Amino acid sequence: MVKALILAGGFGKRLRPLTIDKPKPLVEVAGRPIIEWQILWLRSHGIREFVVAAGYKWEKLVEHLGSGKRLGVNIAYVVEDEPLGTGGAIKNAEHLLRNEDFFLVLNGDIITDLNVENLLEKLRGDESAVAAIALVPLRSPYGVVEVDESDHIVKFIEKPMLEYWINAGVYAMRPTIFDYLPEKGDIERKGFPELAEERKLLGVRFRDVYWRSIDTVKDLEEASRQIEELGLAKKFGA
């Protein structure tokens, strides 16, 4: 059974004052903490074993999630005494994941409904690859104006998807990833660049999926509305 590691150690400074007394993954979106949406999403894909990499206000996460029984999953915790960065946080959980064939890793501030099995299948299909990154289209933060050859405005497009792909913060990994990780630092700076240079890092494109990073109060408001509109609670079996 595949395990999932949730990176939940950040300070969430841009969401203050909501994160003064709680870690960012416990901030509520559409009536549930971000991390609950993540667990429900992955549970709907058959994931039942979780590791939460906690740091800031870690005791609040343990208090809220406990063993995971309430959500129908099992949860173990690793706690960092100081901020380790994304690479260091994964490395800190090595003792719980080193013996797995594959495992999932996700940032603790995203909400999505992408199919993680596609990510795992891609990694399983390439024995030389160490990790696979979920990629989603970049949505423009602004509306776009379309102009014809005579400078007449012909169309307004509200925040369209652009022809660029961004890191969705969801990964499938083999345990050999630990050989590339720093004790402290971000995997985006130490780990992924080396794997990319060695052609051991895969990208899996996901079109027509819901994906949202929760970074600001505006993100909270918009994501809450979108979750309701898309019926994600029902889709995830909540």
DSSP H or E stretch at residue 136: strand 131-139
CA distance 146 to 141: 16
159 is catalytic: yes
Max Cα distance, the chain (Å): 64
Which of 29, 30, 26, 28 has the alpha carbon at shortest distance from 6?
A: 26
Cα atoms found within 13 Å of the Cα of residue 155, Cβ hemisphere only = 7
Q: CA separation (Å) from 62 to 23, 26, 68, 76, 199?
A: 11, 11, 9, 9, 38
CA distance 233 to 46: 16
CA distance 16 to 7: 19
- Catalytic residue, chosen from 24, 159, 190, 235, is 159
Helical pair 34-43 and 58-65, crossing angle rounded to 10 deg: 50
**Residues with a known catalytic role:** 159
